[in-house]
Structure 1
C-alpha cells in the first residue's frame, strides 16, 4: 500500500465533491476509454527479473533503484487516460484532498479493475483517513492481482498493528520482507513484534 517511509496516519473526515469541469472530463474519459484496458502493469514480464534481483542484491543503493523500477511498472497502466487519473489522484492524495483522490482511484478501478495499483492507491487513501476495514478489502484485491506487492503487504501490516492484531501484523510484515528484504522500517517493526511475541511465550 505505502512505499517505505510513507507511514504517517492522517485522520480526517471527507466528503465526496468534485468541480463540474473535472467531473465532465471524467465522464468523457469514461465514455471514450471504458472498454479499453491495457495489459502491462503487474503483468509485465520484466517484473520477474526485477524481483529476483531485489531479493538477491545486498547493495542498498541498487535495491532502491530496483524498487523504483518496480514501482514505475506498477504505476503504468498502459492507458493514457488511466495514467492521467492516477497521477491526478496521487497529487490530490499528497495535498490531503482525500475525497477527490478516492473519486479518481474509484474511477480508475471502474475503467480497469485488473489494474492492481488502482486498488492499492485507493487502499492507501482509505488507510490515511482511518477507514481500515475498507482499506483491507482493497489491499486484498491488490494482492489477488499482484501477490508480490510489498507495499500493500506493508500497509496491511500497519493496519493490523493499529488494530492490535499481532498475528495479522506479523504475517503481513513477514511476507513483505520475504519479497523485499530492503524495507528497514518494516523489518525493524517485524523484529520488535517477534521479540514481544517471544517474551509472552516465556
Structure 2
C-alpha cells in the first residue's frame, strides 16, 4: 500500500508539472489548441459536442495501422473483452508510442482488469503526451479517491475544471470529495 501511495503521489507531481506547462508540451496539436480554448468558455449545453470533437481528434493517430488497432481495441472494450483489447492496445502502443489515446485506453483497460500500477504508468504516459487529456485526469481522480487520497483527487478535479469546466465528473464527485476534504488543507 505504501508503494502505491508513493506511486500515486509521484504521478500527481508529474501531472501538476505537465498540466501547468504552457503550450509547449509534447502531443499538443494545432487542431486541438483552439478546441481546448473554446472548451474553457463554452456554455454547458454546447460542451458535450465540443468534447466529442476533442475526443475525435484524440483518436486520430496519423497512421492507418494505428487507427485500425485503436478501432479493434474499442470494439473489444465495448464487448467486455479486456484481454483482446489489451492485445490490440499493446500492439498500438508499440507501433505508436507517441499516441496519447493509445495509452489512455490502455490505462482504462488495465484499471478495469484491476491492474492499478500498470494503469497508473499508462496514465502517466498519456499525460506526458497530452497534459490536457481530461479523461486521463478523470482516471487519476478515481484512483486517488479509491486509494483514500481525497485531497489529491480534489486537486486533480480542480485541474479538470480548469481544462473542461463542464466535465461530467465535476458534478458527479465534487460534492463527495469536498465533504471528505472538509477541514483539511487543500
Give the structure-2-normalised TM-score. Answer: 0.80
Contact 1:120 1:139 survives alignment (8 Å): yes
Deviation at 1:61, TM superposition (A): 2.7
Q: Distance in 1 between matches of 2:78 and 2:35?
A: 27
Q: Does 1:54 align with 2:39?
A: yes
- Correspondence list, 1:123-138, <5 A: 123-138=107-122
Q: Distance in 1 between matches of 2:175 and 2:96?
A: 38
Report which stretch shifted further, 192-201 or 148-157.
192-201
- Higher CA-based Rg: 1
Aligned to 1:186: 170
Contact 2:107 2:118 survives alignment (8 Å): yes
How many residue pairs align between the two structures?
A: 160
Contact 1:44 1:73 survives alignment (8 Å): no
Contact 2:150 2:180 survives alignment (8 Å): no
Contact 1:86 1:105 survives alignment (8 Å): yes
Contact 2:140 2:153 survives alignment (8 Å): yes
Aligned to 2:123: 139
Q: Distance in 2 between matches of 1:124 and 1:188?
A: 19
With over 3 angstroms needed to count, the CA separation of the structure-2 counterparts of 1:200 and 1:52, relative to structure 1, is: closer
Deviation at 1:199, TM superposition (A): 4.2
Q: Does 1:174 align with 2:158?
A: yes
Aligned to 2:29: 44
- Correspondence list, 1:31-110, <5 A: 42-57=27-42, 59-110=43-94
- Structure 2 stretches of 5 or more lacking a match? 1-26
- Correspondence list, 1:141-160, <5 A: 141-160=125-144
Q: Distance in 1 between matches of 2:159 and 2:123?
A: 14
User: Which secondary structure state, in structure 1, belongs to the residue aligned with residue 46 of structure 2?
Assistant: helix
- Correspondence list, 1:191-202, <5 A: 191-199=175-183
Deviation at 1:200, TM superposition (A): 5.5
